[in-house]
């Protein structure tokens, strides 16, 4: 079973405050601290108390009033950066998810949105250009950004991402060979899709959900929403009952992934795997009256709550799953295409590079809008398809720099 990096601190003392240099940045649809690794203890085991105090979670205050955290999973994050010691890489990046309502940090997975700020941070801190090694997943990220004449990150531009007001310069985030980020396999259970039988404590009878367990950029439980039990379908996604059912499915998926030996163990690590409900796509009209042909619609969850948009690693995972026949995501996309009024097929979105290589573009609908995903595929002699890379565009903004204080 993969190692789990998890630390719990029960309270913070009233010792004198200590400050370390830090930058607060928006990266994609997340916000968090960006810190040089050399400003933290050499052992990662000693990071937890410092980061919990700095973000305001040391006392398990869900408002994080005694820290800089924003009282939500998307605004309670840390990126730890160092100049890479690995040949061929510019910087190493470690992601830390700080729970906004518990004295707990999680370093088991990556955050793609925070990763989109690594390149801009590295440029502004003169760490170098931007080939990134993610320590959490041991995977490669390549960031393409706009720069000013003096070599700094250029924030200004006309690119817009749903979930963030205004425009900025685009950051192309490319995940190289995203499959097997934590488990070492794209489909760790050995199946492209399967049925999970749930003996739920929150429904009168057991139920069965259709899922794909996909490990690409992060492990995700991708659920066919039409197979959710009546108790979930009859209540709001934010209701305690709905969230409890979602968590039951997530922890059952964790066991099938091989990330935990049982559901009790899986329930103690809320960040990995993640879970997303999938719905057929179709024509969607935005608030400005524009019509888009969406490939799939998603409702993601993060740390037990609905996610306001979509994790960037979720977009990478979905882009991967949509590109491979036999997954739940691909089946729902094909179902949508079969019932569409227009004769639009996946093949019409594919750009051929050579007989073996191709690029396919997908459009995802999430709670805050749309997200484009581009997957580069290789077709092998046996007819199987592998995903060589997945790209998503983000924006980022440096918000303040100085010292963040903590107490131990």
Same domain, 382 and 243: yes
pTM for the model: 0.85
Query: Would you give the end-to-end CA distance of the chain in angstroms?
Result: 32
Residues paired with residue 372 on neighbouring β-strands, in sequence order: 363
Q: What angle do CA 33, 37, 41 make, to 5 degrees?
A: 110
Same domain, 361 and 232: yes
| CA–CA distances in Å: residue 286 to residues 293, 318, 339, 360 | 11, 22, 21, 23
Same domain, 153 and 211: no
Q: What pLDDT does residue 167 have?
A: 96
Q: What pLDDT does residue 352 have?
A: 53
Instruction: Look at residues 221, 215, 216, 218 and name the one whose alpha carbon lies nearest to residue 195.
Output: 221
Same domain, 277 and 233: yes
Same domain, 165 and 212: no
Helix (H, G, I), strand (E, B) or coil at 75: helix
Determine, yes or no, domain membership for 215: yes
Same domain, 209 and 223: yes
Same domain, 222 and 170: no
Same domain, 222 and 173: no
Residues spanned by the domain of 307: 194-340+352-392
Determine, yes or no, domain membership for 7: no
Same domain, 315 and 328: yes
Question: Which two three-digit tokens encode residue 13?
Answer: 């003392």
Same domain, 94 and 107: yes
326: left (phi over 0), alpha (psi -120 to 50) or beta: left
Q: What pLDDT does residue 402 have?
A: 96
Question: Which two three-digit tokens encode residue 306?
Answer: 């609905």
Same domain, 201 and 172: no
| CA–CA distances in Å: residue 8 to residues 13, 50, 60, 195, 372 | 15, 12, 10, 34, 37
Q: Measured between alpha carbons, how far is 192 from 387 in angstroms, rounded to an integer?
A: 14
Determine, yes or no, domain membership for 182: no
Q: Measured between alpha carbons, how far is 150 from 141 in angstroms, rounded to an integer?
A: 24
Determine, yes or no, domain membership for 346: no
User: Domain count of the chain?
Assistant: 2
Q: What angle do CA 276, 279, 282 make, to 5 degrees?
A: 140
Q: What pLDDT does residue 299 have?
A: 97
CATH code for the domain in which residue 240 is found:
3.10.310.10
DSSP state of 28: T
How do the pLDDT tens digits run along the chain, 408 residues long?
444 445 554 444 457 899 999 999 999 999 999 999 999 999 999 999 999 999 999 999 899 999 999 999 999 999 999 999 999 999 999 999 999 999 999 999 999 999 999 999 999 998 756 899 999 999 999 999 999 998 899 999 999 999 999 999 999 999 999 999 999 999 999 999 999 999 999 999 999 999 999 999 999 999 999 999 999 998 998 999 999 999 999 999 999 999 999 999 999 998 999 999 999 988 766 666 666 889 999 999 999 999 999 999 999 999 999 999 999 999 999 765 554 434 334 444 555 556 688 999 999 999 999 999 999 999 888 888 899 999 999 999 999 999 999 999
Same domain, 382 and 402: no
């Amino acid at each position: 079973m993969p190692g789990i990096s998890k630390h719990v601190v029960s309270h913070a003392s009233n010792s004198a405050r200590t400050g370390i240099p830090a930058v607060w940045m928006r990266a994609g649809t997340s916000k968090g601290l960006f810190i040089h690794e050399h400003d933290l203890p050499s052992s990662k085991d000693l990071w937890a108390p410092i980061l919990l105090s700095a973000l305001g979670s040391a006392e398990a205050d869900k408002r994080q009033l005694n820290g800089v955290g924003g009282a939500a999973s998307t605004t309670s994050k840390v990126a730890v950066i160092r100049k890479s010691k690995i040949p061929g890489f510019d910087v190493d990046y470690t992601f830390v998810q700080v729970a906004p309502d518990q004295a707990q940090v999680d370093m088991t997975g990556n955050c793609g949105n925070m990763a989109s700020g690594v390149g801009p941070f590295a440029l502004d801190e003169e760490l170098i250009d931007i080939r990134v090694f993610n320590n959490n997943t041991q995977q490669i990220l390549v960031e393409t950004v706009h720069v000013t004449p003096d070599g700094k990150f250029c924030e200004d531009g006309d690119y817009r991402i749903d979930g963030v007001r205004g425009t900025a310069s685009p950051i192309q985030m490319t995940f190289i060979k995203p499959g097997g980020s934590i488990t070492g396999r794209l489909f760790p259970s050995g199946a492209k899709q399967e049925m999970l039988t749930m003996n739920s404590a929150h429904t009168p009878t057991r139920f069965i959900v259709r899922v794909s367990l996909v490990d690409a950029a992060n492990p995700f439980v991708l659920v066919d929403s039409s197979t959710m039990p009546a108790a979930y379908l009859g209540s709001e996604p934010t209701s305690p009952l709905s969230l409890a059912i979602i968590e039951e499915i997530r922890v059952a998926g964790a066991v099938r992934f091989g990330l935990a030996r049982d559901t009790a163990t899986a329930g103690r690590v809320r960040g990995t795997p993640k879970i997303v409900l999938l719905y057929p796509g179709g024509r969607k009209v935005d608030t400005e009256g524009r019509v888009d042909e969406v490939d799939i619609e998603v409702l993601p969850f993060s740390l037990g709550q609905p996610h306001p948009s979509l994790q960037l690693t979720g977009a990478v995972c979905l882009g991967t799953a949509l590109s491979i026949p036999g997954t739940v995501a691909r089946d729902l996309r094909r179902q949508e295409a079969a019932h569409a009024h227009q004769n639009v097929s996946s093949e019409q979105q594919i750009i051929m590079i050579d007989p073996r290589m191709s690029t396919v573009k997908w459009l995802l609908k999430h709670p805050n809008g749309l997200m484009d995903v581009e997957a580069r595929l290789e077709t092998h002699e046996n007819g199987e398809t592998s995903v060589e890379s997945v790209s998503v565009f983000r924006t980022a903004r440096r918000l303040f720099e100085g010292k963040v204080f903590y107490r131990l």
